[in-house]
Amino acid sequence: MFRTASLRVRPLQSSPLVAALLAVALLASGCAATQKQRHTTYETFQSDDTHARRFDVSDAQACEAARRALLSQGYLVGQAKNDFVNGRKNFQPERETHVEIDLRVVCAPEGGDNTTAVVFVSALQDRYTLKKSSTSASLGVGAIGSLSLPFSASDDSMVKVASQTIADAVFYERFFALIDRYIDRTGPTPATAASAAAADH
């Protein structure tokens, strides 16, 4: 008689290497999903007025008030037009840290009579840090040859380490309040001037 050999099938056992590879794969996929989610949630496009305000003046008057507001706070105005103003200001919060704010104002007329303007403001903050690089000098020694020796002199340079648009609502609210303060000093609106001229005649 022939005996039928019974075969026992053993379940596959995962080796430590396979388990480690699976763990790394799951971790990488989770990090990729998290990174993708972070990139898509940077901008929400909410319907708020953080960067925009309406003023009952012409666009030229609004931008002139914005220019004066920047000058009153120590900004260096680079461009100043009837519909655009750009200003920069430097700060040094720490000894080896430098911050620069680049503020841009765009004034757009609203309506056909040019008595209302929408002022859009965006501020970019760049952060720099001091980078030191030591230098060395070569000294020729007869039997030994050339010997490189470091000395105390160093070249210092500012390196940009961060750049971000300011999103603080209070920052823009104060700037718009300053614009509103200087609007009263830029003269009457075109409609008011026309009414005054008609009344004189």
**What is the set of domains in the chain, with CATH numbers?**
49-128+162-188 (3.30.310.80)
Gap between the Cα atoms of 51 and 41, Å rounded:
19
Q: Is 187 left (phi over 0), alpha (psi -120 to 50) or beta?
A: left
Q: pLDDT for 45-54, tens place per residue?
A: 777 778 999 9
pLDDT grade for 99, boundaries at 50, 70 and 90? very high
Q: How many whole angstroms separate alpha carbon 90 and alpha carbon 68?
A: 18
Across residues 134-139, what is the average pLDDT?
A: 58
Per residue in 10-43, pLDDT (tens digit) is 554 556 665 666 666 666 666 555 555 555 567 7
Structure confidence at residue 2 (pLDDT): 47
Instruction: Write the CA distances from 56 to 94, 111, 116, 178, 188, integer angstroms.
Output: 41, 11, 4, 15, 10
DSSP string, 49-108: -TTEEEESS-HHHHHHHHHHHHHHTT-EEEEE-SSEEEEEEEEEEETTEEEEEEEEEEEE
CA distance readout (Å), 157 to 31, 88, 132, 150: 35, 20, 7, 19
Sign of CA dihedral 150, 155, 158, 160: negative
- Residue 4 C-beta-side C-alpha neighbours within 13 Å: 3
Predicted local confidence at residue 46, as pLDDT: 76
Helices (H) and strands (E) in the chain, counts: 4, 6
Please, what is the average pLDDT of the chain? 77
Residue 131 in contact with residue 156, Cβ under 8 Å? yes
Q: What are the tens digits of pLDDT across the range 149-182?
A: 555 556 677 788 889 999 999 999 999 999 999 9
